[in-house]
Structure 1
Amino acid sequence: MKIIYQPPAPSAYNELRVEGGLSRKSLEAAEIGLSNSLFAVSIYEANTLIGMGRVVGDGGTVFHVVDIVVKPSYQGRGLGKVIMQEIMDYLDKNTCPGSYVSLIADEPANKLYEKFGFQYTYPKSHGMYKMY
């Protein structure tokens, strides 16, 4: 396995997302979004993308952790922890006092994020979204 600090190709990104239970994105959206990542970590076995995660945001006040996904046949091997540790290392070096780092946690991944110090915003605030 090898770790690369760049986003995958849009088609590989979509394949991994769908296989991992996340939604498919249009290739246009994937190309734009991936190229605008603040940080990306991709894990490959040979030439196959098996895990990834990204950080997006403005690079100063707001950072959002997204696209944490591991190929189902590789889950349970600690790759989610590896991805999150790489992201935390990036955030530790690139955030400022008062920077806000957020993520949306699907169960059971919320337990992983808790291990890295993420806390629930509820009931003080509520996560919201709008999909186009």
Structure 2
Amino acid sequence: MLDGRAIGMGRIIGDGGTAFQIVDIALEPEHHGKGLGKAIMSALAERLRTHAPEGAYVSLIADGDTRHLYAKYGFDPAMPASIGMAMTVRKSP
């Protein structure tokens, strides 16, 4: 929060069991490079350590150089066993 408004956020979703995904880490561009992304990631990692069961599987998609940030929190590339995939929904005319 800055002056009462959110400038960044992070979100974890889970299946209610042992699978979780970090699906969002967002920060207003003018606040990049100030350590706030690391603070958000640290809070998410702490949340997982305190609430997820031992052995839980946590995944995420790392865009560009963000893989370096996530590696600092114990994330390793999942390839070749797994790959990230995406689809853009297109409506028929």
Task: Tell me the TM-score range normalised by the shorter chain.
Answer: 0.7 to 0.9
Percent identical across equivalent pairs?
45
* Structure 1 residue aligned with 2:77: 120
Kindly indicate which of the two structures has a greater share of residues assigned to helix: 1
Contact conserved, 1:70 with 1:80, CA < 8 A, in 2? Answer: yes
* Structure 2 residue aligned with 1:73: 30
Q: For structure 2, list consecutive stretches of 5 or more residues without a partner in the other structure.
A: none
Deviations 1:26-65 (A, max 9, x none): xxxxxxxxxxxxxxxxxx1013321110000113211100
46, 55, 59: which one aligns with 2:12: 55
Q: How does 1:1-132 map to 2 (within 5 A)?
A: 44-132=1-89
Moved over 6 A (4+): none
Pick the structure with greater CA Rg: 2
* TM-score, normalised relative to structure 2: 0.87
Q: Higher relative contact order at CA 8 Å, sep ≥6: structure 1 or structure 2? A: 2
* TM-score, normalised relative to structure 1: 0.63
Q: Counterparts of 2:5 and 2:65 in 1: how far apart (Å)? A: 25
SS of 1:45's partner is coil
Aligned-pair CA distance for 1:128: 1.8
Amino acid at match of 2:56: S
Q: Counterparts of 1:125 and 1:54 in 2: how far apart (Å)? A: 22
Q: Counterparts of 1:129 and 1:75 in 2: how far apart (Å)? A: 26
Contact conserved, 1:59 with 1:95, CA < 8 A, in 2? Answer: no
Contact conserved, 1:50 with 1:70, CA < 8 A, in 2? Answer: yes
